[in-house]
Amino acid sequence: MDLHGWIDAYLDYLRVERGLARNTLDAYARDVNALAAFASGGIDPRDVTSETLASMIAANTERGFGARSSARQLSALRGFFRFLVRERAVPEDPTTGLDRPRLARRLPRVLSFDEVMRLLDAPDESTDRGLTHAAMLHLMYASGLRVSELCSLRIGDIDLTRGIVSPLGKGGKRRLVPVGEAAMNRVSAYVRDVRPRTAAARKAKETFLFLSPRGGGFSRDGFWRMIRRYALGVGISPLPSPHKLRHSFATHLLRGGADLRAVQAMLGHADLGTTEIYTHVAADHVRAVHAKSHPRA
């Protein structure tokens, strides 16, 4: 089987056995297929050497790839060649001799509490459209959902009585996240008053929690445009992405004294190290408060 055939087998393995989400699968496919394009996909994978991969990464750098993109691609290729070694398609992993590009540690930008409040108050809740948007924004900030998780929520994924949402996260894993009263009140009002009207008007049979004006689910791009439109209206700059609400959720919890493990569970991070970056953001806030308030700062 040539390189193209093994790539198809690997992507099938990721989809069926690993249960990776569609967006994650697409990212793996782009990175691994880049190797096929560079090395001519009809070759035998045993002919791909460390030098081949180093040349590809160098060529990508010349085309403007940053260290983060190169590191992501190398990580995908390592997974691919580990799979080939297990399947005995190659005798050894050619990525073992390659160094991972050095990444500058970037702290996620978060919205201040005032900016979050202005954003949450932006929709006109006296209209069906505004209440729908308000429920989505409040729920995202209250639970730290990824935008894909928010848009794919089903009616059965939220318990309005207990105040708990159960999103389907990466790798097909579910988690339970408590939702505050302010957000739950808006979601309850949307489910009670708005969603039935939207479903009836569009004869929608979808089970998505949040229905778009056309009766289907919201798209990630549609929610992205919506959040930036409201941010522009209330003067938040630079304009935030939906993921900024997730970053803000985690950082504000830690600033309020939340346990790191609890935040990890609510975010759905498999690795605690992924969550720990938010402690650096929170520490910056503590240092700023200390510098402003302490008489010997």
Residues marked active site are found at: 146, 170, 243, 246, 269, 278
Residues in the chain: 297
Q: Which residues pair with residue 165 across a beta bridge?
A: 158, 177
Beta-strand pair 164-165/158-159: antiparallel
- What gap in Å lies between CA 169 and CA 149, rounded to an integer? 6
